[in-house]
Each structure stands twice: as C-alpha cells, then as structure tokens.
Structure 1
C-alpha cells in the first residue's frame, strides 16, 4: 500500500500539475505559446524609421557664400528724342536762354559673384550690356566702380574687375556636375529689395534648345529666381558655387519654378579665357548642319532609322573643307560620340581648343567614310557658309 502511494506522488501527481499549468496558460496567456516569425530581408515588413525632431538649416552654407555675392548697378546715358518744333529757327530764338536736356540717365540692376581675391566678378552679359558705368556693391556695404574685362554674349557671361582689399571669395564645387534632386540655394538681389536667398532642388541638367543663347547647357532649378537675380550664385548645401543664375521661364515676369543657371565648370572656363584673352576661345569646325528628321530623310530617300546630322553648308577654307567634308554628308560620329543632336554637337566642338583633332565618321553615297579635322577658332561673327 505504501509503495502504491509513493508511485502516485512520484508519477501521477506531477502529470496532473503539468496539465493544470498548461490549462492555465491556454486560458490566461495564450500569446506565450504562439510561434514567433522572423521577416525575411525581402519581406514587405519594414522597420519604422526614427522620427527626426530636429530642424534642418542651411545658415552655414549661406554664411559661407553670401558675402561673395554682390549687387551690380549699371547706368547709361540715353538720348531723348526732341520734338521737331525745337528745330524750327523761329522757336530756337526763344529757347536759347533755356537749353533743352537731350540726355537722361537710365539705371538697372543685377547680381554678380566674386570669383577671386584679385577682384574678378562674374555676372551675366545682359546685366551690363551697353552700360556707361558699372558699380559693384558688396554685402559689407563697400562699393566700387567696375572695369569690364571681357564679355561672352554667346554664353551670356561677362567678367568685371574691382579694386578693393580683403575681398570675400566664393568656393567652387569640385563636383563636375550636379544630380537631379540636389538641394540648391539661389542668392541675388531680386527686384532691388536687397540680398535674398531662396531654396529649391536641381530639377534637370543639360537643358538646351531654349533659344536663350547660342551656347546653352543649363542647370534647371525650382529655387525662386526673379528679375535682379541674374548673375547671382546658385550654391549647394555646403555653400559652394554650382552655377550662375541666368534666366527664368515665366509668363508673369516673376518666378514660376523654372529657372536656369550656367554650370560653374563652364562659367570658370569662360572666366579664365576672358581674364587671359579678353574673349572666349572656342573650337570651330566650319559647317552648318541639320538634324536628320524622319521627314527630311524621306524627302532624301534615306533609311528612316538613320540618326545623324546632314551637312547643309561648308565654310570655304574652314577646318571641315580642309578635311574633305561636303554638303550632303551625314555625320554619324564626332570624336567617337553619336552625332544626332545639332546643339550637342556644336557644344562638343566649341569645348575644344584650336588645334585639337576632331575624328569624324560620316555616310556618303551609302558608304561609311572616316576623316580627321583640326579644330579652328570660332569667331563671334563668322562668314556666311557657301552652299554647293
């Protein structure tokens, strides 16, 4: 009997206690026995990102760049048109004691960027065009008359020089190009209200075919650019120059979120040429071309899938003529890059220096021909091409 009781205590009782414990867990804590799942790396389940309660500020970028952004005021004398009555000898005898003022002063404003401690200031050509006097006003209150070193109307840039000590100089971004989505800040003097900073992003790069200038390769931004901002700085989040604000697309005259800036790399190359030579040095091939559109190819009886530039004019004794190119040739490759866009091809050749080689692949009479030209120097006003 004692052995049977011992067996109950040692075997049966623990089993009963275990069953009671399991029943209690099922009733009061069922989550303890639910299986745990682990999300796979490619699962749709994502951890909740931490909430950033801080406030972003670009004050450091503005502090670094803004002192080098200047206001530019230009003045020019404009002759007034006098009434024909003042040319009448009868009335002139009455006007001798009160001479008429035939001139008046006209003022305009824009912005600029101090690029070197030597006093070089870069701005837009249209800001200082035809000006009789150019005044540069710094953020610290100093002013100086500026000397026009050189201008490049085809790119809408001009280089000024001022003589002041301890000039603030902007830092130029080392990155060769910007990426769409980068934060940018525009600094200038819109409407003459004083130095103003606006923020946006890079909306697009490589914009051309806008009809603004001969050479176009713009950064597009939605940072507000208004009249008076022209020639000012477009900077990145580190306070470095990425472009020179130049133009806006607007139907109202104010900012509508489409502004254009000349990339800093292009602007500094032009600055170096203007400072050294007084003009921009560009490569030149000496041809006129037309893009091979489907309609044009159909009229010429050429394959519709053909991509290239049809030569429509050759400058006599120019680089293309010396290389043997002829009207009707279809350029397919220039320096091993596809030649399908006339603007891009012109910019590509203009970026060369006189004396550089230009490898050309073309179609002539259904055959592929290769030749090499030597770039000449582009003049602001070239001779008219000879069509043959």
Structure 2
C-alpha cells in the first residue's frame, strides 16, 4: 500500500485499502497555510532508557488484561515519529485540481482560483511512524513513508528531533531501514520470533494524524491476508484502531515484542473501522537483515509464469487436489527451463514442503538465496515427479510469479495472463483465463479466451499494466475506462467503471 502525498485509496472487492502512513502537510509560499490536516506536534513523554526494552510480564492470553500500561511503559520509548520533508514542487496551477474546484462551496471557489494562480512552489511533509531495533540508532519504518526524496528526521518519545538517513528500502514488502545520524545509546525493541495466534491481544503505538505516542489495543483477527498490494502479501490482520500516520509503527504482543509493522487499513472513509494490516515479524527480520547488510533485498528466481490452480483446472489435468501452482510458461535460459519444467506442470512442494497456491510458491522461491539448491515436486500428465534446481538471482522487476493476476477479489472479476504465454492467443495484450460470474467483467459479457489489448487507449501486455492503467485513470478523476477486447466475434470496446480495480 505504498502511498504518500496525498493519501490515495485502493478499492478491491468493494473494499478500500489506504496507506496509513501518508499524512502530507502541504504549505503554500503565498497562502502560508497548512492544507489538509492539522500540523504535526511531537508528543511529550518520559526520558527514554539506554538499553534494550525489557519484556513486559504477560498475563493470561485468554483473559482481558487488567491493563496494558506495563507493556506500554516498557516499549513506548523505542517508538518514534518519522518526518520526511518533501522538496519544493514547481507549480503554475491552482492549489486544487480544476475538477475539485467545482466541489467547493461557491464562496471558496473564487478564493482558490485567485490565490492559486500566483502560487509557484509548494513544500510539504510526510508523517509516519517507526521504531528503534538497535541501541546504535537503526529504525524500521515503511518504504512508502520515505520513498519521496527529502530530508528524513525521527522524533523520539521524549521530543528530541534527530536527523536520519535511509539505509535501504524494499518496495515489494513496503519496508525501509533508517539510521539516526547522531551517535547515541537508544532504547530499542525486539522482533517476535513466533507468529501470534489469532485472538491474541496486541498493542499498536504510532503517530496517527501527527499525534505522536498514540496507543491502541486489539486482537489479531486473522493471518496470511492478501490485500492485492504485491505478490508477497502475507499480512496480519488486527482490529486495534490504526489511522493515517501509523504506517511504519509497531504492533506488540503482551511480551513487548514486535509482531508486525503497520502498513495498511481497510477504510471507506479514511479512518479506522477496525481492519488494519501489519507486515509480520518474520518478514521484517529477513528483509531488514538484508537492508542493513547491503541496502537492498536479493531474492531467489526460478523463471516461470505461474497461476493459481482452480478446481476446474485440476479436474482438467486429472488431479485429485487443487493445491499448487500451475506453470503457464518457462523463460529460456532460466533455472526453471534448465530443470526441465514445462507449461502444464503443477508444482506442489519445494524441498518437501507443500505449497498451497501460486502466491505461496512465489514467496518461498523469493526467500531462497540465489545459488541455493532446491528440490521441486510437481505433477505432469497426472504423475508425480521431482527435479533439482539451482535458484537464480531475481532480475529487477521480476518475481518468482512473473505476473500478478487480477483475481476474483477485485470487482472486475478476472484472472489474466500475458497473451504471449498462451499458444494461439497472439503476442499482444492479456488473455482472460477465468471470469467471476458476479464480477463487473461478466456483466459486460467478457469471456474466457477474450484478449484485452488496450486499456484507456494504452496498449498493454501484462496484468500489472492493466491494474496500473485503472489506477492512473482513478487518479485522473475518470469514472469509466474503455477496454479494447478481441473475442471470437471480433474486436470491440467495453466500458468499465474505474472502481472495478483497486
């Protein structure tokens, strides 16, 4: 849910997933005022200790704790607010896009037009949260908090403002590692070794709406959530109130250890409705370790195009189960091709560990170090086989699951694959491999086998480009996007609401 200034929303299956980080304060050189949200003010609190934060004494997990105060007292000094100053942006337009001016009351419309014409520059600040993970000043936050260029500062719980530098970022998991410039002995917290159980109590601390040092509590509502942000989605869902500005902040268990880094919320209104999502601690541990060592994350690479295996596909392949990843294609010269994998193979296990679907396979392959050996179990023509493969290094922009499929969780209701990956479909556009009968696409008579060659007048060649064009249209304020579709009846246009894809 990378998202900075202004905060944008992403709709998926009638849901709105919003960055909880990106509070952007924009100041005008002419108006000299803050637009959008109240200004940031650091919270005042006790002086931070100079050693690792000791674990709190956890009470029974099946009972409501009498108080969360002991946990909060121990961990709160390690939580910081993160501020990123956005560089001045040249502008000759009004303070608001023209289409938004018409939404203002008449008495304000002319004011914005008059003053907006004179404004040439604007500057602002992105606000988020973070936490110390070492005494020498390493700080974890979200990538989308710091991805815009600008000076980075962290504000400690006792009100100190410290300059920081970005050590490394990983957009695919939305994590970033900072280092405080000033040497010191900072309070820090530990990442939890185990994934919390559903129903466990958790405490979130952060900087919502610029109000630093805010504490909320709730439970772990679910694990392994996929909200369509990337192929590595594996979020914890929590019901502790999380709001904009909490991004990058920690969620603690009752032992005072970090079980997740808050990154997204479901919100039709932009505020908390009790559905928040956090990056689990095991993902944070592996990513941050690589960022600290080299400033970037290197992932394993197999070189296959894969898709989820539906029950219908499994039946067609003569398989009794619908678990695993269906190989659409292998790329020449890649580890998959060298290992003999072919289109139609269904990969069911990696190093003896069963995989549930294409998304889990993508994560497992990425987690394997380049150069490592892996044994793949797969079915071909109904028979189980195994092959050894040496994992490669993932090229920039590639993933173990080479394409992201729009799925039935989106209101569009399509599964797509590059047309070039399906024999006979041609080399342009994306082919429809599955249709949700309740989705928007089915209502427009889009069928399996149709090829979408353009979205909004732009030629596309991958599912990711389809999503990108919908999101671009949303940002431009468009309500409808035209799809140019090739079917057995010929080529035609289909009008689809931009809200169908988030």
Question: Which residue does the alignment assign to 1:123?
Answer: 141
Describe the SS at the equivalent of 2:72: helix
User: Which ranges in structure 2 are unaligned for 5 or more consecutive residues?
Assistant: 1-63, 94-117, 404-419, 424-502
Distance 2:282 2:321 in 1: 35
Distance 2:372 2:169 in 1: 24
Distance 2:369 2:172 in 1: 17
Q: CA deviation at 1:170?
A: 2.7
Question: Which residue does the alignment assign to 1:325?
Answer: 341
Contact 1:334 1:358 in 2 (8 A): yes
Describe the SS at the equivalent of 2:92: coil
Match of 1:203 among 221, 224, 232: 221
Does residue 235 (structure 1) correspond to residue 256 (structure 2)? The answer is: no
Question: Which residue does the alignment assign to 2:282?
Answer: 265
Distance 2:162 2:65 in 1: 39
Contact 1:204 1:221 in 2 (8 A): yes
Match of 1:366 among 379, 382, 388: 382
CA RMSD of aligned residues (A): 2.5
Match of 2:160 among 142, 146, 162: 142
Question: Which residue does the alignment assign to 2:174?
Answer: 156
Q: CA deviation at 1:379?
A: 3.2
Mapping 1:108-119, distance limit 5 Å: 108-119=126-137
289-298 or 341-350: bigger deviation = 289-298
106-115 or 373-382: bigger deviation = 373-382
Distance 1:181 1:128 in 2: 32
Distance 1:320 1:367 in 2: 19
Distance 2:191 2:290 in 1: 20
Describe the SS at the equivalent of 1:127: helix
CA displacement, residues 17-61 of structure 1 (integer Å, 9 cap, x when unaligned): xxxxxxxxxxxxxxxxxxxxxxxxxxxxxxxxxxxxx98122221
Match of 1:339 among 355, 358, 372: 355
Describe the SS at the equivalent of 2:136: coil
Distance 1:366 1:78 in 2: 61
Question: Which residue does the alignment assign to 1:293?
Answer: 310
209-218 or 119-128: bigger deviation = 209-218
Distance 1:249 1:185 in 2: 18
Q: CA deviation at 1:220?
A: 1.2
Contact 2:317 2:381 in 1 (8 A): no
Question: Which residue does the alignment assign to 2:121?
Answer: 103
Distance 2:228 2:359 in 1: 11
Distance 2:65 2:246 in 1: 27
Contact 1:170 1:240 in 2 (8 A): no
Match of 1:79 among 86, 89, 94: 89
CA displacement, residues 270-310 of structure 1 (integer Å, 9 cap, x when unaligned): 11100111111222211111122133345x46346454321
Question: Which residue does the alignment assign to 1:215?
Answer: 232
Question: Which residue does the alignment assign to 1:380?
Answer: 396
Match of 1:312 among 324, 328, 331: 328
Contact 1:170 1:241 in 2 (8 A): no
When residues 338 and 364 of structure 1 are mapped into structure 2, their CA distance, relative to the original with a 3 A threshold, is: same
When residues 109 and 221 of structure 1 are mapped into structure 2, their CA distance, relative to the original with a 3 A threshold, is: same
When residues 146 and 367 of structure 1 are mapped into structure 2, their CA distance, relative to the original with a 3 A threshold, is: same
CA displacement, residues 327-366 of structure 1 (integer Å, 9 cap, x when unaligned): 2212122221223311111111122111222211222233
Question: Which residue does the alignment assign to 1:185?
Answer: 203
Question: Which residue does the alignment assign to 1:44?
Answer: none
Describe the SS at the equivalent of 1:219: strand
Q: CA deviation at 1:78?
A: 4.4
CA displacement, residues 253-284 of structure 1 (integer Å, 9 cap, x when unaligned): 11111111112222122111001111112222
Q: Which structure carries more helix by proportion?
A: 1
Distance 2:388 2:240 in 1: 44
Describe the SS at the equivalent of 2:87: strand
Q: CA deviation at 1:206?
A: 2.1
Question: Which residue does the alignment assign to 1:21?
Answer: none
Question: Which residue does the alignment assign to 2:485?
Answer: none
Describe the SS at the equivalent of 1:66: helix
Contact 1:172 1:242 in 2 (8 A): no
Match of 2:68 among 42, 54, 58: 58
State the TM-score, normalizing by the size of structure 1. Answer: 0.76
State the TM-score, normalizing by the size of structure 2. Answer: 0.59
Contact 1:354 1:377 in 2 (8 A): yes
Q: CA deviation at 1:317?
A: 1.4
When residues 240 and 333 of structure 1 are mapped into structure 2, their CA distance, relative to the original with a 3 A threshold, is: closer
Contact 2:168 2:176 in 1 (8 A): yes
Contact 2:323 2:357 in 1 (8 A): no
